[in-house]
Structure 1
Amino acid sequence: MHILITGGTGFIGRRVVRALIRDGHKVSVYSRQSPSDVRRLLTSSVRPVQSFTAINPSTGFDAIINLAGEPIMAKRWSHKRKRLLLDSRVGVTSELVDLIERLETRPQVLISCSAIGYYGHHDISEPQNESSPAGSDFAASLCERWEQSAKRAENFGVRVCIVRTGLVLHQNNGALHEMLPPFRLGLGGPIGSGRQMMSWIHSDDMTRIILFLLNNESLRGAFNATAPNPVSNREFATALGRALRRPALIPVPVIALKLLLGESATMVTNGQAAIPERLQEAGFTWEQPDIDAALKQLLVKPSYF
C-alpha cells in the first residue's frame, strides 16, 4: 500500500513509519521539516511532503494515518498555546480531509489519533468505554473537535478509525522518560492522593493497534488505545519504583504542579479509566497488558526505537 502519514517524525510516528516500511509499504510523510531532516530522522526510503496543496490530485494513497499534534503538556496553556494545540490537531486534520476531497482516487481508510482526554476527568469508580460521552473541559473539547474534523472524511466514502490514545510508555520519549530521573534517584512517588486513574499503553502495542486498524477493513469508529488494565497513579508509581528497584514514596504536591503547569496540571492530577472495549471485541491481543511486566520490559530489556 501507499500510505500518507502526518506526524511521522514524532515519537509514535517514527515507530509507525518503521513498522510500515518493514511490512513493505510505500510511505509518504507530511512534515514542515526539510526533506533532508525527515529522511535523516526516518529513512531515505520515505517520500517527504511539506504541503497538502503540493500533492497532485492524481496521487493515489491507499490509506492515511494522521498523528499530527503539538505535545499537549510541553508548555502552560496560555490562550496562544491553546490556539496552537487546536491548529495542530483540528486545523491539520481539516486540511487533510480537504485533501481527501480533492483526490481523484480516495484512500480506503483514514486512521486519525485523538486521546482519552475526550472523556474528561472521572472518579476511580467510573470506567469509560468508547460509547461514554465527551467531557466538558478544554482537553475534552479539543479531542471532540479533532474527531469531528476526521469524521468528515466519511462523507467521501472513507472508512474512519479514531484512535483515543492513553499514556504511551517508552523509556526514551514521552511522560515516562520525564518521570525517570527523580524515580531513579529514589525521589519519585504518587501525584497528590495518587487515586487518579492512569490509562496507559506500551509503545509497541500502540504501534500494533494502528496496524491492526489499518489491516482490518471491517473496523471503523472510535477505539481506546489503552492497555486493558488501567491503574491508579499510586499503583503506577509503585510499579515504576519496583522496576527501578527504588522507593517510590515521596508524593508530589498538587499545588506545586498547578503553580508550575497552570490549567494543564489537570492532565496529571485528574484522570480516567479508559477501557479498550472495542479492541477487545475485535480480537486484538496485547503483548503488554499489565503495568509491572510492561515497565520491566521497557527498563530492564529496553527497545531504543
Structure 2
Amino acid sequence: MTQASTAHAEFDRRTRPYRRELLAHCYRMLGSPEDAEDLVQETYLRAWRAFEGFEGRSSIRTWLYQIATNACLSALRHHSRRVLPSGLGAPTADPSGPVAVDLEVQWLGPLPDALVTDESDDPASVVAARDSLRLALIACLQQLSGKQRAVLLLRDILDFSAAEVAEVLDTTTAAVKSSLQRARARLDQLGAVDANSPTEPEQRALLDAYMSAFQNADAAAIERLLHRDAILEMPPATTWFAGKRTCVGYLATQVLGTPGDWLMLPTTANGQPAAVAYRRETGGGYRAFGLAVLTTTDRAIARIAVFGGANLVTACGFPAAM
C-alpha cells in the first residue's frame, strides 16, 4: 500500500463516522437537504486537503464541524433564507380556486430520516437528533442570522462548550454567549419549542389512519383526523390552507380523486411521521409522487407539508415505481 493510500485510509477511518451528523448539521443551517449534501462533500474535500497539517489540538469531530460550519456560513452569504408557504403570507380561503406556484422562491425542503440515522445508532441519540430536525424548528432557524444559527446549533444541539464554539467561529466566548442569548430569545418569540410532543405510537396511529383515508379517497375520515386549526402547505405552491374544512375542501375537490388513485407507505422525515406517496398511472401501476410530512398532537394532525419529487421517495429507501 502506498503512502498516499495509507493516508487516505486513515482519513476515511477517522472522519467517516461523522458524515451523517454533519449532514444533519448542514441541513439545520441551510434548510435544504441538497445544499447540505453539497456542503458535506465540500467539507470532506477541504478536510482531506488539510489533513496532513491537522495537528490534533482539537478533536477530529470539532475540526470537521469547524470546516462545515464555516462552509455553511459562506454559502448563506449568497442565498436568501429557506421558507415554507405559511411563512410568506395569509392562507387562501377558497379551496376550489387555482393554486399559485413560484419556482423562484428558496423553499425549505424535508430531510428523510434514513439519510441521518442508522439502525445501529444509540436510541437516545436518535430521539435527540429527530427532535432537532422538526420542520417547524428548521423553519424558525431560518429567521436567525447565520452566525446566531451556528452558535445556537453548536451550543444547544451539539453541546459544544462556549470556548469550543468560539474556536470554531474564530470569535470570543463573550460574543458566543451574546449571540446565543439573542438566538434563544428569538426562537422563544417564534414559538419554536413544542412542550407537548406526542408519543411515537400516537404519531404512528394517526399516520396509518391518514394513509388509509387518503388511499380510500375518504374526505370525511381525513376531516375527523385533522385539528380544527390544521394547516396544509405544498411547496413550491405559495397557496396554502388553514382550518380543517378548508384543507379538506381542497383535498376533496382537487387531490383525492377516487379510491385507489393513491398508494402511500409509512416512513419518517425530519423526525416526524411521514408517508411516501405514489399516484396511479393511466396504464396501471404507480409512479412516485412525493413525501407528506405530518405534524401531530396526541389526537390530531395539526399540519401536513407535502413535497413533490420522486427523488424524495427514493431517498427514503423506496422505489420510483410500483
TM-score > 0.5, shorter chain as reference:
no
Class of the TM-score when normalised by the shorter of the 2 chains:
0.3 to 0.5
Say which one has the larger Rg: 2
With the length of structure 2 as denominator, give the TM-score of the two structures: 0.31
Higher helix share: 2
With the length of structure 1 as denominator, give the TM-score of the two structures: 0.32
